[in-house]
Structure 1
Amino acid sequence: MRRIYEDHGYGGGPVAGCYWGTTVERPGPGPALVGAERAEIAVIGGGYTGLSAALHLARDAGADVAVLEAEAIGWGASGRNGGFACIGGTKASEATLRRRFGDAGLAEWHGAQKEAVALVGDLIDRHGIAADVHSKGGEVVLAHRPRDLAALRAEAPELERAYGVRTELIGPGELAGEGLSGPGFHGALRLPLGFALNPLKYVLGLAHAAREAGARLYENSPVIRIEPLGDGYRLHTPDGVLEAKKLIVATNGYSSDDLPGWMAGRYLPTQSAVLVSRPLTPEEIAGQGWSSDLMAYDTRRLLHYFRLMPNRRFLFGMRGGIRADAVAQDAMHRKIRADFEAMFPAWAGIETPHYWSGFVCLSWYLTPYAGPIGDWPNAWAGFAYHGNGVAMGTYAGHLLARLATGRGAAPAVMARPPARFPLGRFRRALLTPAYAWYGFLDR
């Protein structure tokens, strides 16, 4: 595999302290691919996108589908994210999207985001997935500077028109009454869309539903070579070969530049890190003044995201990090702990026994992709959810299933093939000046 970060970033170290693994007992390891097998459709990647594609293909189209996962189901971002099922998926501004795709394309994109959130809820209900759903009041964005509240106030009517909901602007003096207190918060805007969940329980539930629908899931089966054939594809793993007429690549931030070669330079993994505290007492919660269970994030470009979970543990995440070796991971741990203490000073002495990190994925156009793999026939890929993969990754899998069966098309925002980043395999160097600039703007 040709990946762009240090090997440590793709190993067990970054996920060793993940809280979600303590909340559910994984089923026994699924079988690895051994020997020669055939399928109508092969899916590479056992996260939200790949499993959603497999489920929709098997359940709704009766397709013979096989999923190849390099590690365990949900081992990548799908099993270690913050659990925010919310709108999002692009980092491009509304003005940029309107310029590229017009008013109709932008409206279609707004509708797609709402459909993505609804799809997650539908799958959870339809397949009885016990994903610890909560925070059904949606999400709240907190102004980290006084002038950001004015920007949120101006944005509120646009959000209401775009998504057909009523927003709620919360002034600085009202934050305490809403359980949203913090010394660095200067007001907030609530958008009543989305909900929080346990991401590992959700991805394991998707896997169970896909198996029940007839999909075959192979774990510990990394694809090391894709061989195009005259009438399909041959996928090689260390111990087996899978031949399929159609191919879906759903590896997102854990992709490789040579699987297939078309992927080279078209995606950029970036790091996200998370802390989870021990359970907080009622007195500790009152002392800080944060009692809301809303999904929350701040207005920084290098944002923080956080939420109080039903068991009264507090989850706190952040973006950043240029390197993924063990030394850099330790430095990121210190940085996120310092940010946590600065933003929630009453909890400065609270233990945070769980820390982990993983890769989210960007595209050059800052929009997600679900579409063909170059000029390869009957082959598609889905990736680049920009840190909002719970809903958008699930939705992309649904779109890929429709593309593979000729039953629909992706929204225009998601259908534009991604360009390659400058610098090729050294493209993560672009993050150094970008993060410095974003940090300056955030100040």
Structure 2
Amino acid sequence: MRRLYEPMAYGRAPIAESFWPTTVAQIPEHGPVAGEVEADVAVIGAGFTGLNAALALAGAGCDVVVLEAEQPGWGASGRNGGFCCLGGAKAGPSELLTRFGEEDTRAYYRAERAAIDHVAALLNTHGIEADTHSDGETLLAFRPKDMRVLEQLSDEMRRFQQVECELLPREALAGRGLASPEFHGALTTPIGFALNPMKYALGLACAVQKAGGRIFGQSPVTRIASQAGRHLLTTPAGQVRAKRLVVATNGYSSDDLPGWMAGRYLPVQSNVLVTRPLTEEELSAQGWTSLQMCYDTRHLLHYFRLMPDKRMLFGLRGAMKTTPRAHAQTRAIARADFERIFPEWRHVETPHFWSGLLALARDLVPYAGPIEGMDNAWVAMCYHGNGVAMGSYAGRLLAAQILGDGPDTPNPLRSAPRRFELGRWRRAVLPFAYSYYGLQDRG
């Protein structure tokens, strides 16, 4: 396997202190593939994308096998911040309009909205209790001049989502339970909600099994070949033969599985702190009592939300390595940022810290479509940190492409991603990109 990060990124160390596993009574263990297994469709990856594809396919009567290197929800799907919100593309409306035109751009933005509705429907249909909260999402301006960014986003939401957002000046933040010396205003978009991603992922896995799908854990695919018109997938203890293939590994992909993946995605690290439960006195002292999911206007953004159990989740981007030393350094940076944004909580313990990999595309737009050069093979990836909704919906879209029945995939999502210029050395751009963004964030 040709992966881009240090070995630690693909082991258990980054999630040794994750909060999410502590919220479930038990994480089911799915046994590995043993011997020869046949299926109509093989899905590689038991995260939001793979499980959504498998659920739709199994529900339509396909014989589906899901192969996971660890266990369902082990990757980014079980370690993210739980923001089910608009997003997926890092490219803005002007870029999308230039590339795809008005009609296709609007179709893409309808898909972002449909992705949130899709997750909400799954939670309801399958009775998945995922600790949902937040009435939409709130963007906070960390500089006075960023109020213009909020105004622009409000205009875009009105144009592409047909919703009115609420713009708040700095003096109104405390009255909404959003008090912090860091922020100069806020914009709330009334679309989306927060959830517990581990509970959602495990609920999906259970639904796949109830629909007749088979899930195998501890079954990393080490080779993909073609044999007699079928895909032959090799794992350490067996092989799977399938007529059709779905690759849903995103930031945990390998450049040679299949070879088409090489250079078409860039894994980047996201990191999360979670506090102990805060007391009512501590919440009042800071003046932060809102259960809104929030993020700020930095390029290297922070994202945070007060959860129903009164713990604060606080995430950030910017780490470039996954080593023990880098992990400790990033934790220290996260803690310092947390204390600056919430100064009344400087004494509050943050016992949970973990990291995971998301993926970026060179063209800054997600992809959900065929794998070029392979028959009956599909992939979805590169949600730019918004995989709860878009990753879920992308899996559903792949199932629709395979079945020939279901929601249409907008053209922007079917535009095959270009390769990054530096190929296997593309991680080398991160120090320069992060330095540039860091300078912009100080400006």
The TM-score bracket by the shorter chain reads: over 0.9
The match for 2:75 is 76
Q: Per the alignment, in what secondary structure is the counterpart of residue 101 of structure 1?
A: helix
What is the identity, as a one-letter code, of the residue corresponding to 1:81? N
Q: Per the alignment, in what secondary structure is the counterpart of residue 315 of structure 2?
A: strand
Cα RMSD, aligned residues only: 0.9
Q: Which of 157-166 and 244-253 deviates more? A: 157-166
**Contact 2:82–2:197 (8 Å) recurs in 1:** yes
Deviation, structure 1 residue 327: 1.0
Q: Per the alignment, in what secondary structure is the counterpart of residue 66 of structure 1?
A: strand
The match for 1:218 is 216
**Contact 2:21–2:27 (8 Å) recurs in 1:** no
Deviations 1:47-92 (A, max 9, x none): 0000000000011x21001000000111000001000000100111
| Percentage of matched positions with identical amino acids | 54
Structure 1 unaligned residues grouped into runs of 5+: none
Deviation, structure 1 residue 27: 4.2
Deviations 1:151-202 (A, max 9, x none): 2123312212211212100001100001111111000100000000000000
Deviation, structure 1 residue 407: 2.5
1:40 to 2:40 alignment: yes
For residues 165 and 18 of structure 1, what CA distance do their matches in structure 2 show? 36
The equivalences for 1:2-401 within 5 A come to 2-59=2-59, 61-135=60-134, 137-401=135-399
For residues 91 and 438 of structure 1, what CA distance do their matches in structure 2 show? 14
**Contact 2:39–2:241 (8 Å) recurs in 1:** yes
Q: Per the alignment, in what secondary structure is the counterpart of residue 55 of structure 2?
A: helix
- TM-score, structure 2 normalization: 0.98
Deviation, structure 1 residue 357: 0.3
- TM-score, structure 1 normalization: 0.98
For residues 323 and 338 of structure 2, what CA distance do their matches in structure 1 show? 22
What is the identity, as a one-letter code, of the residue corresponding to 1:207? A
**Contact 2:33–2:219 (8 Å) recurs in 1:** yes
For residues 28 and 382 of structure 1, what CA distance do their matches in structure 2 show? 25
For residues 367 and 155 of structure 2, what CA distance do their matches in structure 1 show? 28
For residues 273 and 148 of structure 2, what CA distance do their matches in structure 1 show? 30
Q: How many residues align?
A: 441
For residues 160 and 216 of structure 2, what CA distance do their matches in structure 1 show? 41
Deviation, structure 1 residue 208: 0.3
Deviation, structure 1 residue 374: 1.1
Structure 2 unaligned residues grouped into runs of 5+: none
Give the direction of change, closer, same or farther, for the CA distance of 1:154–1:224 in structure 2 (3 Å limit). Answer: closer
Deviation, structure 1 residue 237: 0.1
Q: Per the alignment, in what secondary structure is the counterpart of residue 102 of structure 1?
A: helix
What is the identity, as a one-letter code, of the residue corresponding to 1:57? L
Q: Per the alignment, in what secondary structure is the counterpart of residue 407 of structure 1?
A: coil
Q: Which of 147-156 and 421-430 deviates more? A: 147-156
Q: Per the alignment, in what secondary structure is the counterpart of residue 328 of structure 1?
A: helix
Query: Which 4+ stretches in 1 moved above 4 angstroms?
Result: none
Q: Per the alignment, in what secondary structure is the counterpart of residue 2 of structure 1?
A: coil
The match for 2:437 is 438
For residues 434 and 27 of structure 2, what CA distance do their matches in structure 1 show? 40
Deviations 1:250-287 (A, max 9, x none): 00000001100110110100000000000001110011
Deviation, structure 1 residue 26: 2.6
What is the identity, as a one-letter code, of the residue corresponding to 1:17? E
What is the identity, as a one-letter code, of the residue corresponding to 2:56? H
For residues 438 and 431 of structure 2, what CA distance do their matches in structure 1 show? 11
